[in-house]
Chains A and B, each alone.
Chain A
Amino acid sequence: MIIPLNKLKIGQKGIIKNIEPGPLEDRFYDLGFTKEAIVECVLKSPFNDPTAYKIKGTLIAIREEDAATIKVGVMDE
């Protein structure tokens, strides 16, 4: 199942399938959000946005609408 990254629930992992073109595309790439990388939803901020994701051993916070441009395949537990 392919969903936007922002729909990933806390504790869920996904494999990055696609990053839509946009101002953040390159930035995501630099931060480690590359195709086939495993990303885990880890923390929600007190106001539910942004969300922190674990990627390649680091924790990166992204806003909801920006996370929506990354499509991930949900991994089974």
Chain B
Amino acid sequence: MNSKTIILAGNPNVGKSSIFNNLTNKHQHTGNWTGKTVEIAEGDFKCNNQNYHIYDLPGTYSLNFHSEEERVAADFIKTTYHDVTIVVCDATCLERNLYLALQIMQLTPKVIVCINLIDEAQKKQIFINFSKLSKMLQVPVIPMSARKNYGFNELKEAINNYQKPEKTFEKITDIAQKAKEITESTVIYQNQNYDAKERKIDRILTHKFWGLLTMFALFLLIFWLTISAANYPSSLLFKMFNNLTPYLTKFLNILPLPDFLVDLMINGIYKVLSWVVSVMLPPMAIFFPLFTILEDLGYLPRIAFCLDKCFKKCRSCGKQALTMCMGFGCNAVGVTTTRIIDSKRERLIAILTNSFVPCNGRFPTLISLLSIFIIGLNASSLLSALGLTVIIVFAILITLLISYILSKTILKGEKSAFTIELPPYRSPNLKNILTHSFRDRIYKILKRAISCSIPAGIIIWLLLNISLDNIPVINYLVNLLNPLGNLIGLDGAIILAFILGLPANEIIMPIILMIYLASSNLIEVNELSALKDILINNGWTILTCINFIILSLFHYPCATTILTIKKETNSTKWTLISIIIPLIIGISLCLLIKLLFNIF
């Protein structure tokens, strides 16, 4: 049986991905902001014994080639053979949506119009005469609410029964005017003040004082909840892994394996792996759902709106703030998100600076170091969160500064125009949040971290256990790097850990500990106080801590992010620059801080 092809098109943030997910049983994340879907997703489904292949295009306002997405969408509709294009429209702002629908109908006559979000429209007392709309457009019109799971049977039926029209639609000269005419004769707004409540919330969230305070407080709250709730499960995981060690060793000893291999597995792979999982998993499991709530509510575009002026001063744009927010989760995701920025120059700035905001993989180490050296081991978790927020504010300031310098030097140019849509607030869907957080983010990131820890564990073990003249190889390397380390207030072990930590930031701290612990017999590090003793015994001072934090913010993007930058910029030059810039910043800041410490 031949498969039929369907294209899903529409304005940004109208629920195309929700419809796609429902039809295909896939799990594209649906966020409440313009530009969430940046790539064409594909999927299959079956209905009445007919197979369908469906493409979910990124959302666009028109097909006028203003942005990358519009180019992609227009080319795709023009060049890809398809049986029907489903144009998804937002019932709450039909006129603008029809503008795109009519444009698409000028390219292809094979169209079904889907009016999504009718539940939201009903709440706002916006009523649409669907049969009249269908008559005026001369295509099938299906009212739907993808979130409420309403209308899918009708949509599938419409797809199944779809008959290719005989002729193409007549040419429309003024599409906007046509969209206006159709809307005026099919839509009734019973309550002109339907959005009064949203505007009230907006006035607080974008208020001069309360707006900025709320933003700060929201992030503080997220970090605080993450830190305080992650503490206990983290130490529990540590204990569990530690308690398992003897059993695992016994088990491996039963197998016919050489001793060195057992040691490599236990003291190399297992150690790094258990550290990474216990330190990373709990904070991620709390941070991602919380952050996804913000995303689904529609708060992120408001951040871009509030902070645009600061970015404008640096000749870049407020959408960069949104991409930085995504970077908190994972810098590679942040880099991909920069596609929402229209200007190529501003997009490059956002790409080159994205790794400056610490991602999830760097939070736990930053927090531990803060507690050990700056705010004290017994400080409350609120203070830790405040400390982390201060570090992040610092990272944001450096991002702004570097953006400014870049736009005055290698990325010269005027600030370009900025428009962003502020979507209606939508209540987050718990199931959505959990599946997305765990399946798409936590699972993926953890898998990557684990697959990086295994080779890292092996390499470290080999370096520790292979000796030249009875001295482990690692000592040569550490000694080699010591002068550089000491120069910037750190040591050779830290530098080596940063080098070996290229694949994932999460493994930097465990590598440092393994190097330090190689000379002692202290093996288990499950308490902050134990970590503190090890670090201090190895010469760490407050200067080491501060410079480590600096270097952790500014070294180079992790391997995954570097690959993403290469893919997004399609340029080796910019990829190299994205590696060099943070290195220069990190090393110069460390030098400066060491100098200041020596003076005072």
Show the binding face of A for B, using Cβ within 8 Å: 23-24, 26-32, 34, 37, 42-50, 52, 54-63, 66
Contact of A50 with B417 at beta-carbon distance under 8 Å, contacts A43-B203, A63-B312 already known: no
B180, A23: Cβ atoms under 8 Å?
no
Which of these, B96, B176, B208, contacts A58 with CB under 8 Å?
Answer: B96
Report A-chain residues with C-beta under 8 Å of the C-beta of B421: 31, 58-61
**Distance to closest chain A CB from B106 (angstroms):** 14
A45, B306: Cβ atoms under 8 Å?
yes
* Best-buried of A29, A55, A61 by chain B (most CB within 10 Å): A61
Contact of A45 with B308 at beta-carbon distance under 8 Å, contacts A26-B64, A27-B66, A31-B419 already known: yes
How many residues on B have C-beta within 8 angstroms of the other chain's C-beta atoms? 40
A63, B308: Cβ atoms under 8 Å?
yes
B309 at the interface (CB under 8 A from A): yes
A60, B305: Cβ atoms under 8 Å?
no
Report A-chain residues with C-beta under 8 Å of the C-beta of B308: 45, 47, 49-50, 61, 63
In Å, the complex CA distance between A48 and B203 comes to: 13
Which of these, B66, B212, B306, contacts A30 with CB under 8 Å?
Answer: B66
Show the binding face of B for A, using Cβ within 8 Å: 61-62, 64, 66, 92-96, 99, 126, 176-177, 180, 195, 199, 202-203, 206-209, 211-212, 305-306, 308-310, 312, 318, 416-424
**Distance to closest chain B CB from A70 (angstroms):** 12
A66, B419: Cβ atoms under 8 Å?
yes
Report A-chain residues with C-beta under 8 Å of the C-beta of B64: 26, 30
B208, A30: Cβ atoms under 8 Å?
no
Which of these, A23, A24, A31, A62, contacts B61 with CB under 8 Å?
Answer: A31
Contact of A43 with B202 at beta-carbon distance under 8 Å, contacts A24-B419, A29-B176, A30-B62 already known: yes
Contact of A27 with B92 at beta-carbon distance under 8 Å, contacts A47-B310, A49-B308, A49-B312 already known: no
Which of these, B62, B94, B305, contacts A50 with CB under 8 Å?
Answer: B305
In Å, the complex CA distance between A49 and B309 comes to: 6
A60, B417: Cβ atoms under 8 Å?
no
11 A-B Cβ contacts within 8 A?
A: A30-B64, A31-B61, A46-B211, A47-B208, A52-B206, A57-B92, A59-B424, A61-B305, A63-B308, A63-B312, A66-B419
Which of these, A32, A42, A66, contacts B418 with CB under 8 Å?
Answer: A66
B66, A60: Cβ atoms under 8 Å?
no
Which of these, B94, B195, B203, B422, contacts A61 with CB under 8 Å?
Answer: B422
**Distance to closest chain B CB from A6 (angstroms):** 13
B309, A48: Cβ atoms under 8 Å?
yes
In Å, the complex CA distance between A60 and B61 comes to: 12
In Å, the complex CA distance between A73 and B94 comes to: 24
Report B-chain residues with C-beta under 8 Å of the C-beta of A59: 202, 421-424
A27, B417: Cβ atoms under 8 Å?
yes
Which of these, A23, A32, A46, A52, contacts B99 with CB under 8 Å?
Answer: A32
Report B-chain residues with C-beta under 8 Å of the C-beta of A34: 176-177, 180
In Å, the complex CA distance between A3 and B209 comes to: 29
A46, B93: Cβ atoms under 8 Å?
no
A46, B306: Cβ atoms under 8 Å?
yes
Which of these, A27, A32, A45, contacts B206 with CB under 8 Å?
Answer: A45
* Best-buried of B62, B419, B422 by chain A (most CB within 10 Å): B419
* Best-buried of B64, B96, B180 by chain A (most CB within 10 Å): B96
